[in-house]
Structure 1
Amino acid sequence: MSSTNKLSSPHSALQTDRIRRWAVRAVLGSWLLVVLAGIGALTAYSNAPGPGATMLDRWPQDTQLTPSTHKRTLLMFLHPHCPCSRSALRQLEQMMASVAEPVAIKFVFYKPAQQTDSWAQSDMWNSANAISPGNLLVDSDGREAKQFHATTSGHVIVFDEDGQCSFSGGITAGRGHEGDSTAYAAAIDVLNGRDVQNRHYPTYGCTIYPSGPGGQL
């Protein structure tokens, strides 16, 4: 009996070791699948534009905003708590370094109707004010955004001196992404008075006026 146990003991130990190795491999494989799925979901989210928006032909009549009549006007519509829009603001600041023509820049910040103006005055408010001091508007309940057909935070609209819309859309290549893109290059061309083939692009960011309570994202 004793000799049988001695003979079977190495075999049992080897089998146990194999089971452990397979268990470790299974755990690592499952972990890798979870990581890859997470990366895939994050990539899909980053590359997903916000709700589609119709491009305007001209400056709308029923608005508090006033266009410039002697230079182009650029509007950027923002949700003050959208993390993606920090990249849009930095992208705009970089973009203006490549624009030789004078531009009137105005920022429109959404706030829910029941909130005070301070709700809209986030860190992005300060960043926008550094780009175009004093040219910021708190947009209660998204009324202005709706007038200009802006549905996604970071949406840029450019109008010429006659009030004609010459560009509409985002200037980033994805949510939170910075760098060159077709839309970014087109916006620069439009602001420098050059013709472009495509003037309408998707915007990557959070919905400006969400349906949730309090306008929370």
Structure 2
Amino acid sequence: MQVSQTRGSSSSSKKTSVRKQTALVCLLLVAYVVWIGMLFIGHLVLFEYELTPSPLTNTKRVFPHHSGVQLAHGRQNIVLFLHPACPCSVATVDEFHQLMRQGDKDSVGTVIFYMPPEKEGEWSLAPIIQSVKRIRNVSVEYDTDGSLAQTFGVTTSGHVLIYDGRGVLQFTGGITGSRGHSGDNHYLELAKQCILARKAKYTTTPVFGCSLRAIR
């Protein structure tokens, strides 16, 4: 009788142990499925963010001579607006460098950095500004209050404007394929074609970047 009770108790303990192990396995499986789902959703959100351009703006079709930015007559003028703290700006500068090499001596570049006075001491020393200053035929301007961007009709970091030697806008938009990604892409090629054609038709592309006034 005592042996029978011992066997019954042992069998019950084994069943309890099996149930606990099964519950643990199920819990781990559920946790794994939830983790995979969260990763998938995170990647979707990131992918959508990278491929979502900024809203289109009405850029000036003729170079605003009253802006204080100099137009190089008889040469192509490439104007780039950047936020020095935008993480997407590095990729844009890489593509901009290619664009300037494409134009060589026939193009003049101006990079306008958003630079509020209270941030000048910090942002003016940013590596991205030093990198731009090393590009041949490029000058750097600071937009302290956002008025230059407003004059040109620009709101987003990474926006490129290409004007011909008469000051007529040929290209407006971005030159990266998505946010923060450098490398050959369709939009950069369109900008290069404008440089080569010199009298190209008006071209627009989406801009992938931060709002010029979003990061303070």
TM norm structure 2 = 0.90
Flag structure 2 segments of 5+ consecutive residues without an equivalent. none
- Give the one of 173, 182, 185 matched to 1:181: 185
Asked if residue 126 in structure 1 is aligned to residue 130 in structure 2, the reply is yes
Higher helix share: 2
The verdict on how the C-alpha distance between 1:133 and 1:57 changes in structure 2, with shifts beyond 3 A counting, is closer
- State the percentage of identical aligned residues: 25
1:94 CA displacement: 2.4
Q: Is the 8 A contact 2:169 2:202 kept in 1?
A: no
Q: One-letter code of the match for 2:47?
A: T
Q: Name whichever of 68-77 and 120-129 sits farther off.
A: 120-129
TM norm structure 1 = 0.89
- Give the one of 52, 55, 58 matched to 2:59: 55
The verdict on how the C-alpha distance between 1:115 and 1:178 changes in structure 2, with shifts beyond 3 A counting, is closer
- Give the equivalent residue in structure 2 for 1:2: 6
1:105-184 equivalences in 2 (<5 Å): 105-116=109-120, 119-132=123-136, 135-184=139-188
The verdict on how the C-alpha distance between 1:14 and 1:196 changes in structure 2, with shifts beyond 3 A counting, is farther
How many aligned positions are there?
Answer: 212
Query: Matches of 2:197 and 2:138 in 1, distance apart?
Result: 26
Asked if residue 204 in structure 1 is aligned to residue 216 in structure 2, the reply is no
Query: The residue matched to 1:15 in structure 2 has which SS?
Result: helix
The verdict on how the C-alpha distance between 1:4 and 1:156 changes in structure 2, with shifts beyond 3 A counting, is same
1:178 CA displacement: 1.4
- RMSD in angstroms over aligned alpha carbons? 2.0
Shift >4 Å, 4+ stretches: 194-198
Larger radius of gyration: 2
- Give the one of 71, 79, 91 matched to 2:83: 79
1:64-103 equivalences in 2 (<5 Å): 64-99=68-103, 102-103=106-107
The verdict on how the C-alpha distance between 1:198 and 1:7 changes in structure 2, with shifts beyond 3 A counting, is farther
